Structure 1
Amino acid sequence: MTATQTATTLAPNPQFQRENWVDLCGQWGFAHDDADAGIGENWWNRADVFNRQIVVPFPPESELSGLRETGFHPVIWYRRSFAAPQLAADEKLLLNFGAVDYAAKVWVNGQCVGAHEGGHVPFSLDITHALGEGEQVVVVRAEDRPQDVHFPRGKQDWLEDPHSIWYHRTSGIWQPVWLSTVPALHLTDLHFVPDLANYRVRCEVRLNNVPSAPVALTIKLTAQGQSIAQQTVTMSEAELRFDIAIPQLENGVHRDYLLWTPERPNLIDAEVTLEGKRPDIVQSYLGLRSVGVGGKRFLLNGLPYYLRMVLGQNYWPQSHLAAPSPEALRREVELIKEMGFNGVRIHQKIEDPRFLYWCDVLGLIVWEEMPSAYGFSNSATERLTREWMEAIRRDKSHPCIVAWVPLNESWGVSQIAERPDQAHYASALYHLTKALDPSRPAISNDGWELVESDIWSVHDYAPDGEGLSSRFHEPADIEAMLRGMGPARRRIVLDGRELGDKPVMLTEFGGLSYLPKQGEKWHGYSTVDDPQEFEDRLRDIFSAIAAMPHIAGYCYTQVTDTEQEVNGLLTASREPKLPFETLRDITTMPAASVPHEQIDNARRKARKAAEDAEPID
């Protein structure tokens, strides 16, 4: 079943997988094209220019690619051969890319089979018509202009060497490449949107084409090996939305075995079969859970839930934005949970679907954030909007994702407080996000200068708990901050917007640098010199936040040291700077804003005291 795979057997997209996919990762031919001569010289028909090797899917700037070339190379080319699987008369062969940064053009056997723009999202190309006899050849041209600030680049530096909080680039192919055999009429999209209040799941399906005649689509849902629903519908168009009843959800007392939470990450396996001359069978899964806001709290399954998140750059020294191995993606989730957090805010990155799979399986909440552009222009607006829509299209069925963040700290809209066009853009992104997925909260511009938003999210790098308490403990202080200037000397909520009963969250804080390397450039928000001071400062800050009765959650900066940004709880090699048990004790302090945590903690202490007091025979 999909929800019980291991890292080594994991498909490139575990939530949408077919049997018999073929991995094309590994050694490819490689060439720089600094003069941008490849198009004019027909490199897609030449083998001689590919006189170097690269290991896909690692970017050429990284060590694991075999190259480690971090300079400016705006155009790069890839080439490899492969054996095509035998196709039946009514089958097609798809060539799939997890992500190519930033723009890609693809040839098979000298024929252009397609192009794609957007460096963090997947695309698939039908290459059936280009197949020949014997060995097949695929060539990819990737263009990633290092100094262009008008396309979504996230934390990738526009300078040749990393500075401040920006890192080495991740160019070209950086997620898996694979082949998949599909029927002529096949599924391209499959989304599940739980509706717990009405005991059902909304299913959204899209096909590659309009059926020539109506076809049957059957969905089977199982939980822990037991069937909970099966439904067949008829598709006469390329898209269809329909509801699947889940009767077991009606028992409000005994339905917990079905619901997804980080503490009990129950998943429902889904098998989807599209009938036709040759059936298309897709294995998927979903999580039955609801997320929302109300009464100034974040709500999970209709109940207040305190978010304990940590900021994840998800960057590895040896492979950059690409994970060094499938196992590393699972380990990243495990490390975050071992430190006591129940969530991660993936920062300036659309993460690999296999990482999201492990968040679903192991139970870790995710805020998904779009990588920013740094200039504001028509092209920047078009590029980011298009790629953001593709990211939501890929990821909207993941139960772990509980919030969408299209903009961060006014990056790309630096004059949003003074320019109506930038404010309209941020508002439009919020409303577009809600139109594509109304089932989750959306944050228009995380950190400050918020327009329409479901959560008032604030970034505050005060060096101690006293500084945080002065702004976040009392309701009057919180309201004054939200309506006025925030800690970063920016307005938090832009003029004319009602605060309402939306939750307030501290979504970046901390950033303590413990023992930065002397003589080297490094970045942190404040510095500590020894382990005890590091622990004391963490306890001071986290204690202050836990005592705040009006804060609905937090996000600490950050999981790991990353390049010169040495403010992680873990080193860049994923070693803890304090023992895991110490970190858990700090991060899991009961929150004053969620009374049941205080009660549960008191009960745990009472039980432990009673156990310790029992005489030993």
Structure 2
Amino acid sequence: MAERINHPNPQFRRNDWTDLNGLWDFRFDQTKEGLSQNWQKGFEATHEIKVPFVYQSERSGIHEKAFCPVVWYQRVLNKTAEDHKKQIIHFEAVDYQSVLWINGAYVGSHSGGNSRFSFDITPFLTEKENIIVLRVEDSLEDMTIPRGKQYWKETAEIMWFTQMTGIWRDVWLEEKDNCSIEELRLTPDIDRKEVEIELYFSDDTSGLDHFMLHTEVTLDEQIIAKEARLVKGRHLKFCIGIDDFNDHGLGSWWTPEKPNLYDLKFELVHDNQIKDTVYSYFGMRKISMEQNKFCLNNRPYFFSSVLDQGYFPDTLLTPPSFEALEADVQWIKRLGFNGVRKHMMSSENKFLYLCDYYGLLVWSEMAAAYDYSEEYAYRMVDEWKTVLKQGYNHPCIAAWVPLNESWGVPNIYHSTKQQAHAQSLYYLTKSVDDTRPVISNDGWEHCRSDLFTVHDYGSDEATLTQRYKNVETILSDMPGLNGKKFLFCPGYHYEGQPVMCTEMGGVNYHFGKGPKVNPSVLNEQEFVESIRKIVKVYEESPIIEGFCYTQLTDTETEICGLLTWDRKPKASVEELQAIFSQDN
């Protein structure tokens, strides 16, 4: 892949799409009167809002921090239905419960703030102007909603940040033929030197004969493979040999150091007419655990990563632009890391694409709730399934992390029900993806996990050196919450998994703007030396296979970033790179 792609879904893209970001009509509904007043048929706006920025953010044009349980969006769509064409509207993320109407007619609904949803709006379009109305409902009081670091109070504090309600990722319209490709699943296999390709087609293809699928694989614009297959029914699975690499790393495997990406082009053809064209890409890489080692492409690989909260000063969890998101990925690379932990949120497709493109391994997480209930369990499973499907094809994703530090399962150590929930997420994930490790509960109180991950914000070099001599000392020291958390739940134990410290460091340094937090270092030299001493312990430990440094940037309540909240480095980039960079 020679040039980077700015598209809402780079892994599955068509040329015919329309950006629906920009100015929308907006109205608060503090008393939830909109439905009874028929706002779904159109309403008188009180504000304009710049989508995809939530009303709490400065960039939205509203910048109102007071919570409102229901908000309404509206815009005109100048699009008519065409013969044999479908118009699909995509919402990359809306927090939390959404209902869509077109021209007053109910289209569909969705619950979940971290997953994409789409609707076929073709039957609702007219030849005149079409009115799109979206109602969004959120809650501060419901602690079982997966919300990540969004605070349940109106003012951010400690490690929780401003809450968000409404559209917060891209909105876009896609046109496609009635006969089209619906889903794509890509599984590379470097041992067999092939990529497995699995496609699902629209219902309109199943009753017709003579459909052909033309597939082309290229690398740096050079054709690697090209073939045509007969399509019978809605499902097709096949493999294409990719043998332009070898075991000595001289070819085209994907790694953070050499993120080689193969381009894919699919054409669905009927009676010599192209009905659909979809573009995608993949990377040939393998994640595995061998003899207590974390391996990339069958070789031990030390994971040097940074925790990324993903917040921005004037846009909160929404990046100000594609270029701003790209700049964050480039900062992570410049600072010497080979991985990133996108914390307490699902990673958007554009971020994953940039990690594919520039070369970063990603710990893929999910936004957590704060309390447990049966309703939470249903919500979590439903949304996690979508997150898995959306992320599966990205070579950058190295591990799945549905739960973190017992958030959402606060009594997991004693509750067999909450342990069963963690296990259900683990086995659900393994049942649809057996190519990546899964962590049942990152940091402590593990159930069954493929990696033994620990969170440790200790800073005393001697103590850390002693602790990370072997697994027994880690288990006895119980570093989680300063000895207040067991590392495994009852009935579960260490089984030889690779060991990583997936939260560590967190050195506070007040640099320019930002809140005052104690304890903190006094100057740049002390900042760099404190980081160097901590990182050295993990790099020299005989059992540690990787770490995740907290964190990339400051936030509205934290000053432990390597960069300020407005993305200015707090120390020499060259010195920090020398600390974190690995010779893998």
**Same structural fold, with TM-score higher than 0.5 when normalized by the shorter chain:** yes
Selected match of 1:438 from 434, 437, 441: 434
How has the CA–CA distance of structure 1 residues 216 and 159 changed in structure 2, closer, same or farther, with 3 Å as cutoff?
same
Aligned to 1:22: 18
* Residue of structure 2 in register with 1:100 after alignment: 94
Describe the superposition over 1:541-595 as per-residue Cα deviations: whole angstroms up to 9, x where unpaired: 11212211110000010000011111111100000110100111111266xxxxx
Q: Is the 8 A contact 2:81 2:126 kept in 1?
A: no
Q: Closer, same or farther in 2 for the Cα pair 1:434/1:112, shift >3 Å?
A: same
Change (3 A) 1:537 1:369: same
Which structure 2 residues correspond to residues 552-563 of structure 1 after superposition, within 5 A?
552-563=545-556
Q: Aligned letter for 2:178?
A: A
1:249-288 deviations in Å (ceiling 9; x for gaps): 5x434x6332100000000000012234651111100011
Q: CA RMSD in A?
A: 2.0
Once residues 425 and 163 of structure 2 are traced to their aligned partners in structure 1, the CA distance between those partners, rounded to angstroms, is 26
1:255-404 matches, cutoff 5 A: 256-276=250-270, 279-404=275-400
TM-score, normalised with respect to structure 2: 0.95
**Shift, 1:370, TM fit:** 0.6
Percent of matched pairs sharing the same residue: 39
User: Counterparts of 1:264 and 1:165 in 2: how far apart (Å)?
Assistant: 35
What is the one-letter code of the residue matched to 1:82? L
Pick the aligned partner of 1:68 from 60, 63, 66: 63
User: Which sits farther off after the overlay, 446-455 or 234-243?
Assistant: 234-243
CA–CA distance in structure 1, aligned partners of residues 329 and 483 of structure 2: 30
- Give 2:172's match in structure 1, choosing from 166, 169, 178: 178
The range that moved more, 177-186 or 224-233, is 224-233
| Distance apart, 1:216 and its partner CA | 2.5
> Structure 1 487/136 Cα, relative in aligned 2: closer, same or farther at 3 Å?
same
How do residues 32-181 of structure 1 correspond to structure 2 at under 5 angstroms? 32-48=28-44, 50-84=45-79, 88-181=82-175
Instruction: Give the stretch that moved more between structures: 261-270 or 218-227.
Output: 218-227
1:580 alignment counterpart: 573
TM-score between the two structures when normalised by the length of structure 1: 0.90
The question of whether the paired residues in 1 share the 8 Å contact of 2:143 and 2:370 is answered with: yes
- Where in structure 2 are the equivalents of 1:528-543 lying within 5 Å? 528-543=521-536
Between 1:261-270 and 1:127-136, the stretch displaced more is 127-136
Question: 1:507–1:485: structure 2 CA closer, same or farther, 3 Å change rule?
Answer: closer
Deviation string 1:86-131 (CA, Å, 9 cap, x unpaired) is 6541111111111111111111111111111111111111111111
Is 1:548 matched up with 2:541?
yes
- Distance across 2 between alignment mates of 1:42 and 1:275: 45
Matches within 5 A, 1:471-486: 471-478=467-474, 480-481=476-477
Q: Is the 8 Å Cα contact of residues 335 and 574 (structure 2) preserved in structure 1?
A: yes
Q: Secondary structure at the match of 2:224?
A: strand
Deviations 1:436-483 (A, max 9, x none): 11111111100000011010000001023222212112354235457x
Of the structure 1 ranges 17-26 and 213-222, higher mean CA displacement relative to structure 2 is found in: 213-222
| CA pair 233-480 structure 1, distance change in 2 beyond 3 A | farther
Aligned CA distance change for structure 1 residues 418 and 516 (closer, same or farther; 3 Å): farther
- Following superposition, the deviation at residue 510 of structure 1 comes to 1.1
| Contact 2:521 2:527 (8 Å CA) reproduced | yes
Deviation by residue 1:188-230 (Cα, 9 ceiling, x = unmatched): 2212111111111121222343622353323211112222223
The structure-2 alpha-carbon separation of the partners of 1:73 and 1:93, relative to structure 1 and needing over 3 Å to count, comes to same
Structure-1 separation of matches of 2:34 and 2:227: 52
Q: 1:203 aligns with which of 197, 206, 214?
A: 197
Shift of 1:485: 7.7
* Of 235, 238, 257, the match for 1:239: 235
Q: Distance in 2 between matches of 1:239 and 1:473?
A: 51
Q: 1:109 to 1:304 in 2, by over 3 A?
A: same
SS in 1 for 2:529: helix
1:4 aligned onto 2:7: no
Could you tell which deviates more after superposition, 531-540 or 223-232?
223-232
Q: How is 1:400-419 mapped onto 2 (pairs within 5 angstroms)?
A: 400-419=396-415
> Which letter does structure 1 place at the counterpart of 2:284?
L
Please state whether the residue corresponding to 1:512 is helix, strand or coil. coil
Corresponding residue pairs, total = 580
Structure 1 residue 486, shift from structure 2 partner: 7.5
Classify the secondary structure of the residue corresponding to 2:532: helix
Deviation (angstroms), 1:65 = 0.1
Name the amino acid aligned to 1:369.
Answer: E
Distance 1:313 1:180 in 2: 30
CA contact (8 A) 1:294 1:501 kept: no
**8 Å contact from structure 1 (residues 100, 118) kept in 2:** yes
Q: 1:421 aligns with which of 397, 409, 417?
A: 417
Give 1:515's aligned residue.
Answer: 510
The separation in 2 between residues aligned to 1:454 and 1:558, in whole angstroms, is: 24
Change (3 A) 1:306 1:209: same
Whether contact under 8 Å (2:71, 2:135) holds in the other structure is yes
| Offset at residue 154 of structure 1 (A) | 0.4
Secondary structure at the residue paired with 1:89? coil
Once the 2 structures are TM-superposed, how far is the Cα of residue 187 of structure 1 from its aligned partner?
Answer: 2.0
Aligned AA for 1:562? Answer: T
Please state how far the C-alpha of 1:236 moved relative to its aligned partner. Answer: 3.2
Please report how far the alpha carbon of residue 55 of structure 1 lies from its aligned counterpart in structure 2 after TM superposition.
Answer: 0.3
By how many angstroms is 1:536 displaced?
A: 1.6
Q: Which residue of 1 aligns with 2:564?
A: 571
CA deviation profile, 1:129-164 (whole Å, cap 9, x unmatched): 111123221111111112211111000001111122
Aligned partners of 1:377, 1:12: CA distance in 2, in Å? 34
Q: Decide whether the 8 Å contact of 1:543 with 1:589 is kept in 2.
A: no
